Amino acid sequence: MTAESPIPPLRPVETIPVKQDGQDYVVLRDPQGFSDGMIAVAMGALPILARLDGQLSALDITAIMRDEYGLEVDPDQIVSIVEMLEKSYLLQSDAFLKHRRAMEDEYREADVREPILMGGGYPSDPDDLVELLETLEASEPDEDFGPEKPLKGKRLRGLMVPHIDYHRGGKSYGRLYKQVRALLPDPGEGPLLVGLIGVAHHGAFEPIVTTAKDYITPFGTMKYDRDAMELLRDRLGDKVVREEYIHKHEHSVEIQVPWLQYLLKDHEVTFLPLLAGILDAFGNGDGPIASEKVDAALNALRLVEENHPGPVLWLASVDFAHVGPQFGDPATVSDKDCSLVERRDMKALETVQKADASAWWDELMSDGNQRRVCGVNATYLLLNLMSGTRGRVIDYQQSVSEDRNILVSYAAALFQDA
């Protein structure tokens, strides 16, 4: 690459500020997982990175730095930065596209989806994992939140479960799954299918994206449902698996699988791994209800349930608000912020109790989802599937970091026949 060559655009990267030896740096990381490396650049290089739009050369950027910032930058330094980014596949270049296709093909050909949380997000030893889940399941109700009681004699239809890490939110998992244990269908009712809808944190163009992969955990293999997968592909075409690579580095499905294996060890069970992508493609205010693609996806999921020869349980693995400087807010999280988030979350949970998907969407979008509820799309799909049921909120919590740069809220609920 020369100083006169147009520079390929910078891919969407995560920026992590760090300090070393008194100097401020920014670590660049690929959230999609196509690059394993992380590159640290000086904070002063950010204006240069911001100009990597695919149109400019190193000489062009040098002129901009001089004219707009009064800085004299050697174009060869810019070329060196660009070459470093290129080697790490952080530029949208021909080399990256070839690398991406190779990684997607490798994942597509694999029989299983390897765990990304094992040994970090949860113990790799099965006995240690059982001990952890037993401890979490024994968690007492929080003194600051009064859980609703499940309805007696009513069939369990669905779950809303956090996907925050066990370290911060494990007690919420435990409080919910303790209730679930008493509501599970009898193994004699036939094979159980769990439709597990996670969050495509890094985006997906389709309303739902599945993956034809068994999941591996310390408890062994959780098999995906072959019949359900075939039906989805028959109804929605190959586009439902076209983006399946996003499952490889997505935690929101995997984090529920150990719980399912732990609770359902006496059941014949398969699952359908799903990630919720774009629902309101046009952002015109009409919402997902106006989307033929969303309607087709929901009809396909309903058909999966109708055709399954046993009970079906739908599960949305979702978190709620994401507030603070870590997520782009200018100020640290205050007590007032916590109260405001709680009030808005409680209004949203009222729509969950009613299993009202349209009301959920309207409530979240009334302020443009200002508090960044990451589970908005997955929950919308779940509530559509839960139409006619009653939601019972089992837990609600907020996790605030010590430096108050992060607030994440999350809830746990179950759905039964009304």
Q: What CATH number is associated with residue 187?
A: 3.40.830.10
CB 169 within 8 A of CB 259: no
Residues 40 and 117 grouped into a single domain: no
Among 364, 350, 359, smallest CA distance to 396 is for 350
Domain boundary pick from 55, 78, 103 = 103
Question: Model pTM?
Answer: 0.90
Determine, yes or no, domain membership for 98. Answer: yes
| CA dist., res. 405 & res. 328, Å (int) | 10
How many distinct structural domains can be found in the chain?
Answer: 2
Per-residue model confidence (pLDDT) at position 285: 55
Residues 90 and 153 grouped into a single domain: no
Residues 238 and 370 grouped into a single domain: yes
Residues 295 and 352 grouped into a single domain: yes
Determine, yes or no, domain membership for 126. Answer: yes
As a three-state string, the secondary structure of 292-304 is HHHHHHHHHHHHH
Q: How much is the mean pLDDT over the chain?
A: 94
Determine, yes or no, domain membership for 5. Answer: no
Determine, yes or no, domain membership for 2. Answer: no
Domain boundary pick from 70, 103, 136 = 103
Residues 185 and 232 grouped into a single domain: yes
Domain boundary pick from 56, 83, 103 = 103
CATH of the domain at 61: 1.10.10
| CA dist., res. 248 & res. 231, Å (int) | 22
Residues 192 and 288 grouped into a single domain: yes
Backbone angles phi, psi at 58, to 5 degrees: -60, -35
Determine, yes or no, domain membership for 270. Answer: yes
What pLDDT digit, counting tens, does each position of 365-396 carry? Answer: 999 999 999 999 999 999 999 999 999 999 99
Residues 87 and 45 grouped into a single domain: yes
Residues 157 and 91 grouped into a single domain: no
Q: What value, to the nearest 5°, has the Cα angle with vertex 372 and ends 370 and 374?
A: 150
Residues 86 and 138 grouped into a single domain: no
Residues 199 and 290 grouped into a single domain: yes
Residues 353 and 272 grouped into a single domain: yes
What are the CA-CA distances from residue 30 to residues 20, 144, 310 (Å)? 21, 38, 41
Residues 125 and 181 grouped into a single domain: yes
Range(s) of the domain holding residue 48: 14-103
What pLDDT digit, counting tens, does each position of 261-318 carry? Answer: 999 999 999 999 999 998 875 555 567 876 899 999 999 999 999 999 999 999 999 9
What pLDDT digit, counting tens, does each position of 59-68 carry? Answer: 999 999 999 8
